[in-house]
Chain A
Amino acid sequence: MKNFLFTPRAAVYAGIFIVLLLLPKMINAYHLSLVETGLSLAIMALGLNLLLRYTGVLSFGIGAYFAAGAYAVGMLNMYWPEYYTFETAILASILVSAAVSALFGFVCVRHTRIFFSILTLALSMLLFAVLEKAYHITGGSDGIRIPIPTFFGHEFEGMRRFQFLTGPYYYILLGIFSASTLIMLAIVNSPFGKALQATRDNELRAEMIGVRVRRFRWYAFVIAGTFSGLSGGVWCFVSGHITPEICNWVFSGEVVYMVLLGGFMIFEGPIVGAMLFTYLRLYAVAATEYWMLIIGATLVILVLLLPGGVTGGLYDLIERFKPKGRAKAGAEVKHA
């Protein structure tokens, strides 16, 4: 980590962080609320990419852990309102999503490729069915309202929710987002991260050199699930109301879409994707009742023409203008 501080990447990070810090002065509250949605979802997208890019398995049910995190917050408020503070809520979302992903992951990591994707999808739909069915416990399809919590003893009384969201909450969220990004960066560059990539590239070889493949894949699954849970935990305050739809596979599919839109071969790609997708989807829905046509066509074009996503495309563009493009695992697309 020490070396990281002196790389150009660290300088870019610092620059972006400062811009994000000043953002409330630069854009209006409405756009800030959208940026908040994007930042929250970006944490989940980073988690998904740990599985996709670094472990080589595609989860099509990441929404289950997002929902686990969000419902942990909602149900904490429903059943133990006296303990409902921001700290306990976030702790609950982390613990619950870690537990759920440990359980589900145990079943899923026995498989790879398409089988892994189907299992993650089926399990998320199981949780979806339970959330919707257990009407007396979870509020069913009507969902749960998420009130403003206290923050380390500080109360935001008298503040309208939207003022809170676009005021103090933005900085809280920004802090959590930045910490998550740095932690994920540390994870992928750690020996554990390297071992994961070894299992991705050649499972047999990794086993031979002593990597316990399933165990490692399971760890990665739990980390990804916990990131998603944290994402759900911080997002539910932004939304103010949660319903089981966040556990439906369609939402999980949208998260995969985000990651590919941003470009999954570059570490920061999923963050860019989460931001872009938040805007793309909302503006498509607000523009026409045929919004699915817009989103679907964008997706098809993206897959056909821009497989490296937005960041991959940019990277290619930069490489093209450099006199001698250094070969780097940037935008080239992994072939199965």
Chain B
Amino acid sequence: MGLIYALNGLYFAAFLFLTSLGLSIILGVMGILNLAHGSLYAVGGFIAAFVIGLSAGSAAPLMILAAGGCAMLATAAVGFAMETTLLKPMYRRPLEYQLLMTFGILMLLEDGIKLIFGGESRYASAPFDAMGSVQIMGSTYPLYFLFVMLVAVAAGLFIWWLMVKTRLGIMLRAIEMDRDMAQAMGIPMRALTIVAFVLGASFAGLAGALVVPTTPAVLGMGMDVLIMAFIVVVIGGLGSLKGAFLGSLIVGLTRSFTVAYFAELEMPLLFLIAVIILIIKPEGLFGQK
């Protein structure tokens, strides 16, 4: 049983990591807390559910590829439109306008989803069902969850490679460290900001696409995810990818074992970890002061 609990924890960690990745990138590079992040996740979920519905009957990997690809493309497009029209004038404006702008976009996206997809829940579990289960040490475990863990690891590696090994990543990190200095050094701020935002948005879409085979797409599905992503970001350190990774692992694993042995504690647990870390290390595990 212990192994299964550990796997469950890892799956939840993978999910948390995927949802907080985009939020963390946007926060780090642009200094903007994107309150519409959860709604982008919901857009990804609805698009993926729609695509899976269309491609019913095809092979599971194909369905997931199509759904994930379309969701990422769609959220990237929404992100691009958002950034270039509504957020661009906000960079020179104080924080309260930036936050309220993303809050407004959240509401527009929530009702936009309802306008386009209607209010009914959308079920798209075909890939989950088709992948079936595997036997692990005498217990049955859904293969799809192992797949999501793989994707999360791949996404993490990709972002690590991008940020550490490529010129683009080095420039992004330069902006993250000191915006004014980066500008003075002639880094193309405008283009990079767009890239960072579109990247962050498409990761939200990917997370939404990956969750839809396990749980239906419903209106307002992003609101809760937004809060979870916040908590991970707070625990890991604001804007730190390493922190988001480790934060997800801590929360995921602790949750899984708590549910098994002290079920009553589950819900405030996430917050409890966050508060403890805030008290002993206010800047988060890997945050800069």
Contacts and interface: CB of A to CB of B under 8 A. Distances in A.
A121 B279 CA distance: 16
Interface of B: 27, 31-33, 35, 86, 89-90, 92-97, 99-101, 103-108, 110-112, 114-115, 223, 227, 230-231, 233-234, 238, 267-268, 271, 274-275, 278-279, 282
B107 A118 contact: no
Interface string A100-125: 00000001001101110111011101
B274 A299 contact: no
Nearest to B274: A122
Given A118-B233, A336-B93, A249 B279 contact: no
12 contacts: A107-B278, A107-B282, A115-B238, A117-B95, A117-B99, A119-B278, A122-B274, A126-B275, A256-B96, A257-B100, A296-B108, A300-B101
Contacts of A52: 96
Interface stretch (A184-192, A203-211, A287-295): A287-295
Contact of A118 (B110, B115, B230, B279): B230
B274 A126 contact: yes
Contacts of A119: 234, 278
The secondary-structure label for the interface of chain B is: helix
A334 interface: yes
Interface string A283-316: 0000000101101110110111001000000000
Contacts of A122: 230-231, 234, 271, 274
Interface of A: 52, 58, 60, 107, 110-111, 113-115, 117-119, 121-123, 125-126, 129-130, 133, 249-250, 253, 256-257, 260, 264, 290, 292-293, 295-297, 299-300, 302-304, 307, 333-336
Give the one of A114, A249, A297 with max B CB within 10 A.
A114
B108 A118 contact: no
Contacts of A111: 282
B268 A130 contact: yes
Contacts of B282: 107, 110-111
B268 A129 contact: yes
Contact of B95 (A58, A125, A133, A296): A58
B89 A292 contact: no
Contact of A129 (B32, B110, B112, B267): B267
Nearest to A296: B107
Contact of A117 (B33, B223, B268): B33
Contacts of B104: 296-297, 299-300, 303
Given A118-B33, A253-B35, A260-B96, A133 B103 contact: no
Contact of B227 (A125, A297, A336): A125
